[in-house]
């Protein structure tokens, strides 16, 4: 069997009397897109926080490339390449897009440096071609000299994902990447994920936009009230009477 890129085994999280995650198992195949869906309160955000290391589970283990990372901090996990996009919204507001991207590339090459050291050590010449390629791939070429504050919502989201990718992740956790985007921006981002990331870097996708989920996912896990209700290929999930009954009736656009 191929070793999973990321694995959670028997994860349980309790908040007082609430069981937010109940012995949840989830596996991310190398290069695949695994979508996690479920109604409000299902436990999706809690699950992502457990993976990223921001929340300690009451029970269970997390493995990255077969290595048990359950005891590691969020920072250590990020350095190992477990990348949650919103962490990278720590964009440098006084730097251009080009310099922000450059920092991600330096961080990839020197994962142990502090942010201040990264900023000092950036060498525009060395990574120029790579920065240009990222700018082009995410349709940000004409904004290269702009500061993050000048960007539209869609541009900003694409920059965050470009920076996550530039940092050389082993696994990407995309937590509602399409939230708040216009239809055109969402379609553009779906295309970029499909063409630029899918198949190369494993993605855990949490997303309410079901069109995007069915377009991008290789496998889907459906959660309800902290439990995994179903897991399988998109066609099987769409056809499942159990999923229809428990979840789909709540989501008009499924
Ligand atoms: N810090 C907390 N303290 C107490 N209960 C919490 C906390 N965080 C989450 N919960 C509870 O845990 C359960 C799972 O919440 P979670 O936010 O993970 O769900 P979700 O699937 O991400 O929902 P949404 O789609 O609304 O973001 C819910 O019952 C929620 O009320």
Tell me the backbone φ, ψ of residue 229, rounded to 5 degrees: -85, -40
- CA 28–ligand 1 middle distance (angstroms): 22
Q: What is the pLDDT of residues 13-63, one digit of tens each?
A: 999 999 999 999 999 999 999 999 999 899 999 999 999 999 999 999 999
> 20 CB less than 6 Å from ligand 1?
yes
222 membership: H or E segment, kind and range: strand 219-224
Supply the DSSP symbol for 85.
G
Nearest CA to 215 out of 232, 229, 198, 231 is that of: 198
Mutation test of ligand 1: which of 8, 11, 15 has the most ligand atoms closer than 8 Å to its C-beta? 15
Mutation test of ligand 1: which of 45, 54, 228 has the most ligand atoms closer than 8 Å to its C-beta? 45
**Contact (Cβ atoms closer than 8 angstroms) between residue 226 and residue 20:** yes
The pLDDT, as a whole number, for residue 127 is 87
Classify residue 3 as exposed, middle or buried by CB count within 10 Å of its CB (0-12, 13-18, 19+). exposed
The pLDDT, as a whole number, for residue 130 is 93
Average pLDDT (108-132) is 78
- Residue 116: pLDDT band with limits 50, 70, 90: confident
Q: Is 135 left (phi over 0), alpha (psi -120 to 50) or beta?
A: alpha
The pLDDT, as a whole number, for residue 249 is 58
Smallest CA separation from ligand 1 atom 5, residue: 15
Domain residue ranges in the chain: 1-81+169-253, 92-168
Smallest CA separation from ligand 1 atom 28, residue: 41
Q: Mean pLDDT in the chain?
A: 90
> 18 CB less than 6 Å from ligand 1?
yes
The closest-lying atom of ligand 1 relative to the alpha carbon of residue 16 is: 4
- CA 16–ligand 1 middle distance (angstroms): 12
* pLDDT higher at 242 or 65: 65
**Is residue 253 over pLDDT 50?**
no
**Is residue 252 over pLDDT 60?**
no
> 40 CB less than 6 Å from ligand 1?
yes
Roughly what angle, to the nearest 10 degrees, separates helices 153-166 and 97-109? 20
Rounded CA-CA distance 10/22 in Å is 8
The pLDDT, as a whole number, for residue 221 is 97
The pLDDT, as a whole number, for residue 87 is 47
Q: What percent of the chain is predicted at pLDDT more than 70? A: 93
> 45 CB less than 6 Å from ligand 1?
yes
The CATH number that domain 1-81+169-253 falls under is: 3.40.50.300
**Is residue 194 over pLDDT 90?**
yes
Placement of tokens 């990020």 in the chain: 78
* pLDDT higher at 167 or 248: 167
The pLDDT, as a whole number, for residue 234 is 96
ipTM, two decimals:
0.95
Rounded CA-CA distance 49/118 in Å is 26
Rounded CA-CA distance 18/31 in Å is 34
The pLDDT, as a whole number, for residue 85 is 79
């Amino acid at each position: 069997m191929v070793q999973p890129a990321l694995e959670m085994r028997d994860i349980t999280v309790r908040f007082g009397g609430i069981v937010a995650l109940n012995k949840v198992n989830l596996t991310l195949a190398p290069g695949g897109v695994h979508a996690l869906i479920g109604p409000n309160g299902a436990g999706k955000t809690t699950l992502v926080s457990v993976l990223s290391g921001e929340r300690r589970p009451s029970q269970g283990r997390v493995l990255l490339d077969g290595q048990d990372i359950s005891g590691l901090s969020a920072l250590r996990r990020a350095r190992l390449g477990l990348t949650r996009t919103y962490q990278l919204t720590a964009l440098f507001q006084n730097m251009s897009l080009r310099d922000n991207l450059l920092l991600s590339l330096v961080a990839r090459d020197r994962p142990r440096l502090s942010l201040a050291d990264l900023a000092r050590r950036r060498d525009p010449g060395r990574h120029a071609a790579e920065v240009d390629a990222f700018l082009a791939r995410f349709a940000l070429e004409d904004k290269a000299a702009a500061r993050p504050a000048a960007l539209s919502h869609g541009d900003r989201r694409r920059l965050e994902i470009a920076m996550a990718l530039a940092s050389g992740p082993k696994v990407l956790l995309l937590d509602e990447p399409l939230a708040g985007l216009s239809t055109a921006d969402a379609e553009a981002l779906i295309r970029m994920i499909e063409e630029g990331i899918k198949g190369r870097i494993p993605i855990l996708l949490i997303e309410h936009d079901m069109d995007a989920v069915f377009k991008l996912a290789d496998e889907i896990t459906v959660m309800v009230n902290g439990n995994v209700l179903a897991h399988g290929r998109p066609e099987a999930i769409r056809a499942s009477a159990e999923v229809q009954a428990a979840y789909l009736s709540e989501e008009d656009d499924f």
